[in-house]
Structure 1
Amino acid sequence: MKAVPKVNTDGLYLEDTLVDDAFYGVVPFYAPLPELPPETDPEAADEPEEEVEEAEPEIAGYVVGVPVPQGLYLPQFDLAAWEAREEDVQTDPTGYWVEGLTPEEIEELTKPQPQEPNPVDLLGEELTAMKLQSIQQQSLIGSMGSELATTKLTTIEQQQTIASLGSELAAAKLEIIQMKGGMAQ
């Protein structure tokens, strides 16, 4: 047994089918005939039978005993050239196979398609984004801590200055009071 291609009535490849190893050539295969419903009418049994026309089977495609050459995207068997060939001429039978797609269709098929990101990659990207955000937040917290420390130091210095000025003011008032007291005597 060997696998050979089946083609539709236009010669376009459909699928492979198994045949005997000695098979060669092109043989039609037929579409299944519609089943006629059985007659169940009792009166019809008494009447003489009318001749039922047998439906002629319709060719659905061909089994081709010629191997398909490599490199065709949609193989198409040239049925007309096969029928017109001369039996005694020895030629390469794979020459009856042609490409069934246009160059534009082939280009579209072979164009690199964008890859769907895989879930692990997406999780990795999310984790990286979260780490970057965490680093930025830590940096912001660090700089805000430095600003807070600087502000506290400034506040402590200002409080010391205010306390110092308060002491000087109290000393000056005391001196003024003492001077007024010495004049009053």
Structure 2
Amino acid sequence: MKAVPKVNTDGLYIEDTIVDDAFSGVVPFYVEIEAQAPTDPDESEQEPTPEDEQPEETLEPVIAGYLVGIAVTPGLYRPRFDLAAWEAYQDDLQAAESDYRQAYDEWQAQPEEERGEPPAYVAPEMPALWIEGLTPEEIEEITRPQPQEPTEVDLLKERLAAAEARNEQLAEESTINQFALMELHMMILELKEGGGTA
């Protein structure tokens, strides 16, 4: 068993799925069609008579996506399997095989002493089938450095700094109040002394 990519009908990667080790190529998978219950409750209770029975319509299966036997190219942000390139590659393979069979048949039709080397089959080069599914703008957006959320330690440091600043402010206010209180006390003493001699 091995994992292969599962893509939607646009070729965009969905997830991996487990298949047999011998699996290769590209194979469609279909939307599961659920049997519909009768809409009229009376219909479900009645047994259909043979003359009432109509052949069931065979619904055309709907392709939901594809299982792809080709590994995803690493480094893609949103892998997309190029289904059109795959189909073109399959056409090229068939054409190359047809050309080879024709050349081989022509070679074999020649007398043995005139044949020479048999033709060699040359498969077409497989194109890059996995491509980037995001636009350059979308890639730039997701790769842009994001502002980091402050950690709990950072938040505690900020709270400590704010508390220390508030503590200094209160200490200054307390010192000012003490001086004001001392001045007031001095004034009261002066008034008492000044008032007692008069």
C-alpha distance in 2 between matches for 1:55 and 1:118: 57
Does residue 139 of structure 1 match 2:172? Answer: yes
C-alpha distance in 2 between matches for 1:99 and 1:90: 20
Aligned to 1:107: 140
Q: State the Cα distance separating 1:74 from its structure 2 match.
A: 0.9
2:181 paired residue among 133, 139, 148 = 148
C-alpha distance in 1 between matches for 2:145 and 2:125: 41
Q: State the Cα distance separating 1:126 from its structure 2 match.
A: 3.3
Aligned identity (percent) is 51
AA matched with 1:81: A
- Residue ranges of structure 2 left out of the alignment (5+ in a row): 94-122
Q: How many residues align?
A: 163
Q: State the Cα distance separating 1:120 from its structure 2 match.
A: 5.8
C-alpha distance in 2 between matches for 1:154 and 1:160: 10
Aligned to 1:75: 79
Aligned to 1:3: 3
Q: State the Cα distance separating 1:115 from its structure 2 match.
A: 3.5
Give deviations 1:147-184, integer Å, cap 9, x for gaps.
Answer: 221332244345434545x2xxxxxxxxxxxxxxxxxx
Q: State the Cα distance separating 1:59 from its structure 2 match.
A: 0.7
Cα RMSD after superposing both structures? 2.5
Give the stretch that moved more between structures: 81-90 or 2-11: 81-90
Aligned residue for 2:131, secondary structure, equals strand
Aligned residue for 1:47, secondary structure, equals coil
C-alpha distance in 2 between matches for 1:132 and 1:58: 69
AA matched with 1:97: W
Equivalences for residues 14-163 of structure 1 within 5 A: 14-37=14-37, 40-42=44-46, 44-85=48-89, 86-87=92-93, 88-91=123-126, 95-118=128-151, 121-163=154-196
Aligned residue for 1:138, secondary structure, equals helix
Bigger Rg, which one: 1
- Residue ranges of structure 1 left out of the alignment (5+ in a row): 167-185
After TM superposition, where is structure 1 displaced by more than 6 Å over at least 4 residues in a row? none
C-alpha distance in 2 between matches for 1:140 and 1:7: 70
Q: State the Cα distance separating 1:50 from its structure 2 match.
A: 1.6
AA matched with 1:65: G
Give the stretch that moved more between structures: 7-16 or 154-163: 154-163
